[in-house]
Amino acid sequence: MISQLARQRRSAAYKVVLAQLGTTLLISGLGFLIWGRELALMIAKGGSIAVIPGFVFATLAFYKVRARDAASALGLFYLGVTIKLMLTMVLFAYVLATTDLVAPSALFVGYIGAQMAHWAAPLFFK
């Protein structure tokens, strides 16, 4: 059974992921209006490379949090971080290998934009 503390922490982590998704959609929409469909898709792919591993991390790292079981909670946190990093690398490799890169900088704009939302989200969510 998931503790109340775990639910609160997971909810906060999901808000950060939601902020990343919103930022990705905003930047991608602006890219569509300014540069067109292809670049907007590249921006969306870059943002997705940040959002998907962030969601997986939030789900794993805050699966359970108990004061009595700190070692287990820490182990889940480290597992979440490890899977997040590996999934990020796999997604970058997949997108770079399978996509005709018209403008590779658009991919990184989307990724960096989503990461900046990740860093700024705690300022807006309590």
pLDDT of residue 8: 78
Q: Which two tokens stand for residue 47?
A: 């943002």
What b/e string do you get for 15-51 counting C-beta neighbours within 10 Å, with b at 16 or more? bbbbbbbebbeebbeebbeeeeeebbbbbbbbbbbbb
Banded model confidence at residue 2, pLDDT cuts 50, 70, 90: low
pLDDT of residue 31: 95
Q: For a pLDDT cut of 90, what percent of the chain falls above it?
A: 56
Measured CA distances, 106 to 2, 10, 91, 110 (Å): 40, 31, 16, 6
pLDDT of residue 101: 80
**What is the average per-residue pLDDT within 18-24?**
94
CA 119, 101, 55, 33 dihedral sign is: positive
27-63 tens-digit pLDDT: 999 999 999 999 999 999 999 999 999 999 988 887 7
